[in-house]
Chains A and B, each alone.
Chain A
Amino acid sequence: MIEPWHYQVVSALLFMTGVLGVLIRRNVIVMAMCIELMLNGANLSLVAFSRMWGNHDGQIFVFMVIVVAAVEVAVGLAIIIRLIANRDSLNIEDTNLLKW
């Protein structure tokens, strides 16, 4: 029988995969995708909790997370386009305009 903790384990693994990607990859676009993976892991957890308590609040949270993720991707990809036009590189280490 599938219990709530099965879903929590899958959610934790998805989140950890996203964190791993942000830690070991230096490609800006892949890092943005890994942030989406982390959001999805959290969403799965929220939906499982919503089912576990039998009310809809968790699903409303997921709806809001998806809205914010869509906005974040639109703005983030616009920033990435400007970054590549200015620096000619996808490497996050080249993004050092605010360093001195």
Chain B
Amino acid sequence: MTEQVLFYVFSFVAVLSAGGVVLNVRNTVYAALCLVVSMLSIAVLFIMLSAEFVGVIQVLVYAGAIVVLFLFVIMLLNLKSEDMGAESQPLLKLVGTLLILVVSVKLVALLSGTRKSWPEVGSEFGTVRAIGEVLYTDYLLAFEIAGVLLLAGLVAAVVIGKQRID
């Protein structure tokens, strides 16, 4: 019962605040804050799926680093409210919304048909120890490549951000 209540509350908040990111046309800072709420609700859903490590990483990296980076850039640029009004044509908006509505209804109908229950997993499932064992044995190469990718991204961000094009 508690699980159901938590699931419905947090998935509702996640989808609603995701809608807030899209539909907020007045201020980009509000959109970033809606994004934080959405990320945190998804982290709760992760923990309910007994993926504690991924849930904590979600809070640390997404809510703690990525959205803060967005907020930094928004505030650094010192945007005026007329800059926010960059919107597409009404016809394009209408067609896009209808398309998304149709695809969403079809997707929900399709997914509701599947029946599969959760298997029993031990208390070790999703902990740092269990994830670490898989990450440092089967997925060691992917882990190393991720490290190199982070370094490359760091260098690229500094180089692009610094450049002066005259």
Contact = CB atoms under 8 A, between A and B. Distances in A.
Given A5-B114, A59-B126, A89-B83, A73 B69 contact: yes
Nearest to B48: A2
B123 interface: no
B120 to A, nearest CB: 8
B69 A77 contact: yes
B50 A51 contact: yes
A1 B7 CA distance: 10
Contacts of B39: 40
B73 A30 contact: no
Contacts of A33: 21, 31-32, 35, 70
Nearest to B163: A82
Interface residues of B, number: 85
A24 B92 contact: yes
Given A27-B28, A44-B42, A86-B165, A70 B66 contact: yes
A13 B150 contact: no
The B interface, classified by DSSP as helix, strand, loop or mixed, is: helix
Contact of A77 (B7, B62, B70, B115): B70
Contacts of A75: 153, 156-157, 160
Interface residues of A, number: 71
Given A9-B108, A51-B50, A59-B54, A29 B74 contact: yes
Interface string A8-48: 11101110111111011111011011101100100110011
- 3 residue pairs, one from A and one from B, having the closest CB atoms: A71-B153, A91-B86, A23-B96
24 contacts: A2-B3, A3-B116, A7-B49, A9-B111, A13-B18, A14-B42, A17-B19, A21-B22, A23-B92, A23-B100, A37-B38, A40-B38, A54-B121, A59-B131, A60-B135, A60-B142, A62-B51, A66-B61, A67-B146, A70-B61, A70-B153, A73-B69, A89-B86, A93-B86
